[in-house]
Structure 1
Amino acid sequence: MRIPHFASFSCRSDISLETYISRGEKEGEDLLKLSSQTNEAPPSIKLKIKAVFLSRKPAELTSCSEKEPIMSSISNAKSWLSELSDDKINAIAHEMNTEGIYCHSDFLSAEDLARMRGVVYSAISLGGQQSVSLKNNELAGSDLEILANCPEFQSLFSRIYSAGLGRAPPEVHFYQILRCLTGKSVLSHSLMFHYDSYAVTALVPVEIPQSGKRGDFLIIPNTRGIRSNYLFNLVDKVILDNALTQRILRTRLSLGKGIRRVAMVPGSLYLFWGYRSIHTNEPVDEGAVRATALFHYADPHAESYLKRRLGRG
C-alpha cells in the first residue's frame, strides 16, 4: 500500500460525506466536532470523517505545485538539529546510557503533525479500520520521508552512535516504520516485549489517545551490550520471545517492578538503544488510535553470514 503525499484518498462508501467536507474547511471541522460528540456515529464513520478532513490540503500549508516541497515542513526539527553541539550530543548519549531514553519536546510543529495524521487516518481507513504499518517506500512523498532524508537528522544518529558506543558509525540507512494501532487487532500488537535489530531507535509519536488506555511506552533499559556474534543475539531473542519470559515480564509490569513507563507526547522525539533495551507498548482502546513513527539505525549484524542464511538479512 503506497500513500501519496498528503495521503489523499476517497471514502468510496461515503461519497456524499466527502463531497460535503470538500465544500469548505469550516464545514468539515464542524462535522468532525459533531461526530466526536455524538454516540450516533459508529467509530468507523468517525475515523473516515477524520481521515477525509485531515487529508485535505489547507492553502497555508501547501505550495503552488504538489511536486514542490512544503517550505514549513519539519522546520522545528531542522532548527533544533542544526544547533546540536558535540557537548549536547554527548549529553543525549549519556542520558540514553544512564536513564534509558532521551526526550526532546516540540520536535515537530502542529502543522507537521496535522499532515502526518492525514497519512495515519488514510492508512487506517484503507486497512479496514484495523492496525497497519507503513514501511520505507510506502512513506514516499510524506513528511516522514523528508525527515529521513534530512542530512541533519541523519547526522544525529551517526553522532549519537559514535558518542554512545565509542565506535565508528556506519553509513546512515534507516529502517523506517509508521506504526498505526487501532481496532480489534490492537492486543496482538501490544505487550510483546522485544529487542530491536538496530542499535539506535528514534520514536516520534504522531497520534496518542488523550483518554482511556494511552498505549504508554514501556522499557527495561540497556539489559545487554552489542553482541559480537549474530548467534548470541539470536539466543537472546529466542529467550525473550519465549512465552514464559513474556509472562514473567507482564507480571513485573503489573507489580510495577523494574519497568519504566513513558507517556508519549505527540511531536516529541524519543531516542533509546533499541538493540540493547527490552521494550514494548501498552494497548489502546479499540476505538482509539496510537500512531508512532520509528527510525531504526545501524544493524550490528548486517554482514552476518548466519543471518543471511536464515533469511533475516
Structure 2
Amino acid sequence: MTSPINFIANDQNLDQLARRLDSEGIVCVEGAVPPESLQRWRDQLDRLIEKQGFRYFSIIQPWKERGSAYEELAADANFRALLTGLTSRGCRGHEAEGDIYNVLRVIAGPNGKQKSFMFHYDASVVTVLIPLQIPEGKPEDAGDLIAWPNRRPVRGSSVINAIEKSLIQNPLSRWWWSRRVVRRPDDRNIYRLKPGNMYLFWGYRTLHANLGCKSNSLRATLLFHHGDPHQGSLVTRAIRWTRRVREARNVTKMPA
C-alpha cells in the first residue's frame, strides 16, 4: 500500500533528518503531502467545520474516530517509522514510548488573534506539523509558526520538566515573549507554513507558538506527537488529561 506522505523513513533518511533537526531546529520537507492526500484531509476538515461551526476548536486524537480520514496517516507503517525513528534519535531508548498523540487545531472566525502567542514546550520528543489551510498575508495575519528551537535538553526528571513548563506557560511569561516577538528586529524565528509541506521539530526542546490570524480567516493544522521521555509519570498524564478536558468543552461529538 502506498504511503500517504512522500518521505521514505529508512535509516539513511532518518539519520539525515535528525542531524538537520539538531542543527536547523525546524525542518520543512517540501512536497511531503501529495495533493490527493491533502484533499482528503481537507474534505474531512470541511465536514468538521460544518459540524462545529466556523470558529476555534481543537480535537484530540481525531485519527481514532470512526471514519476519520486522518487514520490513514496515523496507521501508515512508513509514517509510524518516521515518528519512532526520530524519537529514538532524539531521545535514546524512547522510540516505543507512548502512542501517537494527534491534534487537529482549527483557528477560524472573528477571533483569530485570541489563540496566538500561547508559548509552550510539547510533552513529546518529536512534533510533526502538517498545514491543511493557512491564510495569506503578513506573519501576524497568517498564523505563522514562531519558534526558538532546541532551547533546552530532554530533562531527566518529570518534576523538573513540569517546573520549567510552569515558568513559561503562564500569562506573565507569555506576555513577555509576545512583546519580544512584536518588537523583533527581523523574522529569523518565524516560519511560514504552506499546505503540501511537512514541518518537523524536537517539540519537547522547542519553545513555540503561533502568531494571530486575520479576522474570519481559516488556519487548520494537523499535529502528531510521539515519544514521552517521562512515560508513565503522573505529571505528564495530568497535563494531557487537563488539555483533553479543556479542548472537549469546545467541540461537539465528531461526526462519522
- TM-score, structure 1 normalization: 0.69
Q: Distance in 1 between matches of 2:239 and 2:148?
A: 28
1:247 is aligned to 175
2:46 is aligned to 121
1:80 is aligned to 7
Q: Distance in 1 between matches of 2:103 and 2:238?
A: 25
Contact 1:89 1:159 in 2 (8 A): yes
User: Cα–Cα, structure 1 residues 122 and 286, in superposed 2: closer, same or farther, change >3 Å?
Assistant: farther
User: Cα–Cα, structure 1 residues 311 and 117, in superposed 2: closer, same or farther, change >3 Å?
Assistant: closer
Contact 1:116 1:143 in 2 (8 A): yes
1:105 is aligned to 30
The one of 155, 168, 180 equivalent to 1:227 is 155
Contact 1:132 1:181 in 2 (8 A): yes
Offset from partner CA, 1:164-213 (integer Å, 9 cap, x none) = 33435125621111111101343232111111111110000011113461
Shift of 1:282: 0.9
Q: Relative contact order, CA 8 A, sep 6+: which one is greater?
A: 2
RMSD of aligned alpha carbons:
2.4
The one of 197, 206, 225 equivalent to 1:277 is 206
Q: Distance in 2 between matches of 1:308 and 1:103?
A: 30
Contact 1:105 1:268 in 2 (8 A): yes
Contact 1:219 1:259 in 2 (8 A): no
Identity across aligned pairs (percent)? 31
* Equivalent position SS for 2:70: helix
* Equivalent position SS for 2:85: helix
* Equivalent position SS for 1:80: coil
Spell out the pairing of 1:61-72 with structure 2 (5 A cutoff): none
How many pairs were matched up?
A: 238
Residue 228 of structure 1 aligns with an amino acid whose one-letter code is: G
1:89 is aligned to 14
The one of 69, 83, 88 equivalent to 1:162 is 88
2:227 is aligned to 298
Spell out the pairing of 1:1-313 with structure 2 (5 A cutoff): 74=4, 77=5, 79-81=6-8, 84-137=9-62, 139-171=65-97, 173-211=99-137, 213-256=141-184, 260-307=189-236, 312=241
Q: Which has the higher strand share?
A: 2
User: Cα–Cα, structure 1 residues 142 and 204, in superposed 2: closer, same or farther, change >3 Å?
Assistant: same
Shift of 1:127: 1.8
Residue 25 of structure 2 aligns with an amino acid whose one-letter code is: G
Q: Which has the higher helix share?
A: 1
Contact 1:252 1:259 in 2 (8 A): no
* Equivalent position SS for 1:209: coil
Shift of 1:130: 0.6
Gaps of 5+ in 1: 1-70
User: Cα–Cα, structure 1 residues 125 and 234, in superposed 2: closer, same or farther, change >3 Å?
Assistant: same
* Equivalent position SS for 2:18: helix
User: Cα–Cα, structure 1 residues 146 and 172, in superposed 2: closer, same or farther, change >3 Å?
Assistant: farther
Residue 141 of structure 1 aligns with an amino acid whose one-letter code is: G
Q: Distance in 2 between matches of 1:129 and 1:306?
A: 34
Residue 127 of structure 1 aligns with an amino acid whose one-letter code is: Q
Shift of 1:125: 2.6
Q: Distance in 1 between matches of 2:235 and 2:86?
A: 28
Q: Distance in 2 between matches of 1:261 and 1:167?
A: 32
- TM-score, structure 2 normalization: 0.84
Residue 193 of structure 1 aligns with an amino acid whose one-letter code is: F
Structure number with larger C-alpha Rg: 1
Residue 161 of structure 1 aligns with an amino acid whose one-letter code is: T
